Amino acid sequence: MSLIVQKYGGSSVADIDRIRNVANRVAEYRRRGDQVVVVVSAMKGVTDNLIGMAKSFMPVPSEREMDVLLSTGEQTTIALLAIALQSMDISAASLTGAQAGIVTDGVHSKAKILNITPEKIHELLDAGNVTIVAGFQGQTSEGNITTLGRGGSDLTAIALAAALEADLCQIFTDVDGVYTCDPRVVESAKKLEEVSYDEMLELASLGAKVMQSRSVEFAKKFGVIFEVRSSLNNNPGTIVKEETKSMEDVVIRGVSLDKDQAKITLVGVPDRPGVASRIFQKLADSAINVDMIVQNISHGTETPATDLSFTIDKPDVAKALGVIDAMHEEVGFGNVLTDENIGKLSIVGVGMRSHSGVAAKMFEVLAGAEVNIQMISTSEIKISVVIDLDQSEGATKEVHNAFLG
């Protein structure tokens, strides 16, 4: 008898038929004698709809209330799946994140899991139930509902697999596994048999929404090996695990495109020590993740000033502009420009560590496609560029073709 954690994303529970399909798959494992913990997302589109409704009242609604609101999406699915299984004579019981013992910090909308006390889950499993846990949500020690960031059901699944010491962790989605690029953008993308945690982490944080990046970080930290596979067929998926020696033979594992980034430029920022620290500390205090940062050469000699550009997630723009506005007087910069018309294109691979000329080749491909590079950032295993949004899909295809075609 194995203990299996399975996670089904929004598209896998998009309607009643899909929920029935999930119930059938879960029932197969259960009838085989396995103990099954199922984590589900909200039905496809539900979270976005709830956000839209809240924003029709105000652009930046209270984060506490947003978490109360968004957690209802997953709560609907856990109950529907439990009912579907019961209709098939399979004992099943649902638990909200709080009931499942998922305790988080109080950072609403991006809460971190502090600990999990899975007694209730064990109790239900021991009584022979398929135990269905609402993804994406937890509760603070004071009893407030929190959510774990978009795509956070992946994190719930990985964290439960770690806490329960599960034998198997499967992430079911609408693709067969992790591909060399989003198959919706590059049709010729190939499925990967295995990916290292570090590569998956970079791919995910750079736009491959097939896994939430924080969930991969968690998996790496706790050594949770997991499989990404389709809920619509029985094809083997992609195994995500610790790096092995042979993984370095491949220079580029994958290409990511993130169209959900925005660039903010502060014009005429005083060029003196402490200013950047002030600006980015305030943004960090509001849980706004800043990714790439570019500071131009200082201009003006009496009161030197510089232009400072950085990228953030598009949904954080309104909040970031609020934070920046509040610093305007104190820091004393000029205009604030927002550009949502950007795409961040990245190539990722642990093989980059031992191969040279990768950046040069990427830039050459972009130059050949007449794509202007606005920002560049690199790490040991990735190169990212910010380019014009309208050119981003075409550029992704060119770059994929050059390295992986």
Under the rule (CB under 6 A), what is the footprint of ligand ASP?
Answer: 9-10, 41-42, 47, 73, 135-136, 150-153
Rounded least distance, CB 84 to ligand ASP, Å: 19
- Cβ proximity to Mg ion, 9 vs 149, nearer residue: 9
Looking at residue 350, the DSSP 8-state letter turns out to be G
Rounded Cα gap, residues 324 and 201, in angstroms? 29
CB 13 within 8 A of CB 117: no
Beta strands (DSSP E) in 242-318 are 254-258, 261-270, 290-295, 305-313
- Cβ proximity to Mg ion, 96 vs 153, nearer residue: 153
> Count of alpha carbons within 13 Å of 394, Cβ hemisphere only?
12
Rounded least distance, CB 346 to ligand ADP, Å: 11
Rounded least distance, CB 380 to ligand ASP, Å: 29
For 309, the token pair is 């550009």
Number of residues lying near Mg ion (CB under 5 A):
2
Query: Strand 305-313 relative to strand 290-295: parallel, antiparallel, unpaired?
Result: antiparallel
- Does 366 sit near ligand ADP (CB under 6 A)? no
Which ranges in 234-300 belong to alpha helices (H)?
275-285
Which region among 4-12, 130-138, 312-320, 362-370 touches ligand ADP (by CB under 6 A)?
Answer: 4-12
**Site for ligand ADP (CB under 6 A): which residue of 182, 202, 271, 313?**
182
Rounded least distance, CB 382 to ligand ASP, Å: 24
Beta strands (DSSP E) in 1-84 are 3-8, 35-40
Rounded least distance, CB 154 to Mg ion, Å: 6
- Does 9 sit near ligand ADP (CB under 6 A)? yes
- Does 135 sit near Mg ion (CB under 5 A)? no
Q: Which does 152 bind (CB under 5 to 8 A by kind): ligand ADP, Mg ion, ligand ASP, none?
A: ligand ASP
Give, as ranges, the residues between 251 and 270 that touch ligand ADP (CB under 6 A). 254
Rounded Cα gap, residues 146 and 140, in angstroms? 7
The Cβ of residue 334 has, within 10 Å, a number of other Cβ atoms equal to 12
**Site for ligand ADP (CB under 6 A): which residue of 175, 252, 312, 385?**
175
- Cβ proximity to ligand ADP, 12 vs 392, nearer residue: 12
- Cβ proximity to Mg ion, 9 vs 349, nearer residue: 9
**CA quadruple 218, 223, 224, 225: dihedral, nearest 10:** 130
Rounded Cα gap, residues 6 and 359, in angstroms? 38
CB 220 within 8 A of CB 201: yes
For 402, the token pair is 């050059």
Q: Which does 113 bind (CB under 5 to 8 A by kind): ligand ASP, Mg ion, ligand ADP, none?
A: none
297 contacts: CB under 8 Å, gap ≥ 6: 306
- Least Cα distance to 349 among 217, 214, 196 occurs for 196
- Cβ proximity to Mg ion, 175 vs 395, nearer residue: 175
* CA-based radius of gyration for the chain: 22
Rounded Cα gap, residues 191 and 40, in angstroms? 24
Give, as ranges, the residues between 158 and 197 that touch Mg ion (CB under 5 A). none
Which residue is associated with the tokens 């929920």?
Answer: 19
x/- string (CB under 6 A) for ligand ADP, residues 145-174?
------x---------------------xx
Cβ-proximal residue to ligand ADP, closest one: 9
Which region among 117-125, 208-216, 295-303, 373-381 touches ligand ADP (by CB under 6 A)?
Answer: 208-216
**Site for Mg ion (CB under 5 A): which residue of 73, 97, 135, 151?**
151
Q: Which helix (H) or strand (E) holds 227?
A: strand 226-230
- Cβ proximity to ligand ASP, 39 vs 125, nearer residue: 39
Give, as ranges, the residues between 6 and 25 that touch Mg ion (CB under 5 A). 9
Q: Which does 109 bind (CB under 5 to 8 A by kind): ligand ASP, ligand ADP, Mg ion, none?
A: none
Residues near Mg ion (CB under 5 A) are: 9, 151
